[in-house]
Structure 1
């Protein structure tokens, strides 16, 4: 069961938003597995690892956080993901 779910609307081709997500996660030392439609990821943080899944449908990048450190609120993770995806 997801601990936190959200969607980020985007414009342009789905491969662009997926490439942005992959670059941001790998730059943070995480792992990103998937394609232009769906996949999963994990990112280490000082408080512990954040894990989740993503799916792309229409012009929406949907994220389900499946595991996160107890002390890190889902809203903080969502805010950081939105910042990564809105850059550039």
Structure 2
């Protein structure tokens, strides 16, 4: 069961939003795999531990399910950071 789920609406192509997510996660030292057609997974190290999750593209939404996270890191903080990553040009 996911520890936290959310969707981020986007405009433009699914290829662009996936490329943006991949770039942001890799810049943060994480790993990102998958595609706009199949979805995929990611992991990102944090000082408190690794955050892991999956993503899928559903219409014009980038849907995220956090599957594992450090106990002390609230899901809302992860959601906020993902939204910031996806808003950056």
**TM bucket normalised to smaller:** over 0.9
Cα separation, 2, equivalents of 1:68 and 1:30: 14
Q: How many positions carry a matched residue from both structures? A: 88
User: Which consecutive residues of structure 1, in runs of 5 or more, have no partner in the other structure?
Assistant: none
Q: CA deviation digits over 1:26-69, x for unaligned, max 9?
A: 00000001011300000000000000000001100000000000
Give the Å deviation of 1:12.
Answer: 0.5
Which consecutive residues of structure 2, in runs of 5 or more, have no partner in the other structure?
Answer: none
State TM-score, norm by structure 1: 0.99
Structure 2 residue aligned with 1:31: 31
Which whole-Å CA distance do the structure 1 matches of 2:68 and 2:58 have between them? 23
SS of the aligned residue for 1:69 comes to coil
C-alpha distance in 1, partners of 2:58/2:13?
11
- Alignment partner, residue 82 of structure 1: 83
Q: TM-score, normalised by structure 2?
A: 0.97
Query: Which residue matches 1:51?
Result: 52
Q: What SS class does the counterpart of residue 7 from structure 1 fall into? A: strand
The match for 1:7 is 7
Q: CA RMSD in A?
A: 0.5
